A and B are shown apart, each in its own frame.
Chain A
Amino acid sequence: DIVMTQTPLSSPVTPGQPASISCRSSQSLVRSDGNTYLSWLQQRPGQPPRPLIYKVSNRFSGVPDRFSGSGAGTDFTLKISRVETEDVGVYYCMQATQSPITFGQGTRLEIK
């Protein structure tokens, strides 16, 4: 199984400041079709997961452009350019390149 490791596990951030979450996979996430199936999800308190980013860097419709994804191979990053209070929650990276689908442990974004 591909192990997904997120850092940090907790990130206190001042509103208006940037935040960055790293996700590392135990093996390359490039599938034989040339695509990298790395996604990011946000889970606000008491809510279901909400997909933010797919295939490393593509934002879903309705996701603010302050969220961006980058990376390749085994190293990926989610960046929030200017954190807002509504961004509080847990962020997960997820790989769907290889079965079983696996998730990172989650990073809790807190407001200072």
Chain B
Amino acid sequence: EVQLVESGGGLVQPGRSLTLSCTGSGFTFGDYALSWFRQAPGQGLEWVTFIRSKTHGGTTEYAASVKGRFSISRDDSKNIAYLQMNSLKTEDTAVYYCGRSGDYFDYWGQGTLVTVSS
């Protein structure tokens, strides 16, 4: 069974850093691209970042709202994708989801809540 499990969320002060993890199981992790999405309280869905599989260069892309502050990486030997979030702002408060894609996004995790507040 394919599973994606996010972890690492919590309460953090503005300006600080936090790292989220997305652990995959039930599939060959390295064969897939991974994305992070987020959903602010009561709001819609927003794409955050994307990392391609090593086969496709392992390149990354970022939403303008997080570019320069957030960084995505992956460790295929551990089946984990990371989201390093620096210089956090109150508007980064959201549930963060990871999603898997081959030719299209087919699995999402349950999400982890990040609250940025003093």
Using CB atoms and an 8 Å cutoff, list the residues of chain A in contact with chain B.
35, 37, 39, 41, 43, 48-51, 54-55, 60, 90, 92, 94, 96, 99-106
Note all chain A residues with C-beta closer than 8 A to B37.
49
Tell me what chain B mostly uses at the interface: helix, strand, loop, or mixed.
strand
Scan B25-56; emit 1 where CB is below 8 A from any A CB, else 0. 00000000001010000001111001000000
Q: Is B82 an interface residue (CB 8 A)?
A: no
B45 touches A92 (CB 8 A): yes
A54 touches B106 (CB 8 A): yes
Least distance between A95 CB and chain B CB atoms (Å): 10
Residues 54 to 105 of chain B near chain A (Cβ within 8 Å): 61, 63-64, 97, 101, 103-105
Note all chain A residues with C-beta closer than 8 A to B45.
41, 43, 49, 92, 94, 103, 106
Q: Is B13 an interface residue (CB 8 A)?
A: no
Note all chain B residues with C-beta closer than 8 A to A106.
44-45
19 A-B pairs with C-beta separation under 8 A: A37-B104, A41-B45, A43-B45, A49-B97, A51-B105, A51-B106, A51-B108, A55-B103, A90-B44, A96-B101, A96-B104, A100-B47, A100-B63, A100-B64, A103-B44, A103-B46, A103-B47, A104-B44, A106-B44
B108 touches A50 (CB 8 A): yes
Q: How large is the interface on B (under 10, 10 to 19, 20 to 34, 35 or more residues)?
A: 20 to 34
Q: CA–CA, A60 to B107, complex, Å? A: 10
Least distance between B66 CB and chain A CB atoms (Å): 11
B104 touches A92 (CB 8 A): no
Q: CA–CA, A99 to B47, complex, Å? A: 10
Q: Is B110 an interface residue (CB 8 A)?
A: yes
Note all chain B residues with C-beta closer than 8 A to A102.
47
Q: CA–CA, A79 to B109, complex, Å? A: 25
